[in-house]
Chain A
Amino acid sequence: MITAGEQRAGSAHYGWRDWLSQRVTAVIMLLYTLLVIGIVMWHGGLDYPVWKAMFASGAFRLATFLCMMAVLFHAWVGVRNIAMDYIKPTGIRLAFQMLVISVLIAYAGWTIQLLWGAP
């Protein structure tokens, strides 16, 4: 049973923003996927020198970083939606969401480290 109070409490207006960001990040990932497929096909396969040369390019590193940030943001919106649907107790849900945020921020750090860290 949904009461008028509950219905009002649910209108924080972040829905349309997440709807949009989920699509913008999706398009970024789609373009990056096509870019990588294009580069690999251009070289006619993938071996260590090609792989290394790809990541030696500053532009490719930046594109990879952009795509990874899109992945992490996209994952946050998606996993939060799943949590809101299935984890009913508020405390457990918030604890789970904090854990997810921590993991995603750690992944962002890992990404920076492997793109621009010491070789």
Chain B
Amino acid sequence: MPALDRPVVKPRPVYLDLFAIRQPLAAVVSILHRISGALLFLVGIPVLLWGVQASLESPETFAHYKAVAAHPFAKLVGLALAWAYLHHLLAGVRHLVLDLHVGLDLQSARRSAAIVFVLALLLTLIVAVRLW
């Protein structure tokens, strides 16, 4: 067998039914970090740029922007983006702390994942209360 075709790892059966495996909380926080990031790219950046542009032009466009943002559907989008931003930011800070070799043991890592998950939802709830 040519050297480059030689398997590095022997092929073994894998069991990767993601919906049958009970994911640890850190894995849930991790996939939500990715999903929230995708959401911020797809919706967050254009909405942010449009919002800043519309609101800065004149007092009239600022008022118009506020009226559009007050629509129930716009509020829902805003709330989803607020959660995405908060979760992504908090999960990112958790990464930075882990990179400093702080909280690497299993128990601390589980606790920080729980804190990120809950704190993002709590802060989103505060945003929701302020929006409605």
Could you list which residues of chain A lie within 8 angstroms of chain B, going by C-beta atoms?
A: 1-5, 7-8, 23, 26-27, 29-30, 33, 48, 51-52, 55, 71-72, 75, 78-79, 82, 107, 110-111, 114
Contacts and interface: CB of A to CB of B under 8 A. Distances in A.
B56 A55 contact: yes
A4 B45 contact: no
Contact of B49 (A1, A30, A48, A107): A107
B93 interface: yes
Contact of A51 (B9, B55, B92, B99): B55
Given A1-B9, A55-B56, A114-B49, 20 more contacts: A1-B7, A1-B11, A3-B7, A4-B4, A23-B96, A26-B92, A26-B96, A29-B89, A30-B89, A30-B92, A48-B63, A51-B55, A51-B62, A52-B56, A75-B37, A75-B40, A78-B37, A82-B34, A82-B37, A107-B46
Given A1-B7, A55-B56, A107-B45, A82 B38 contact: yes
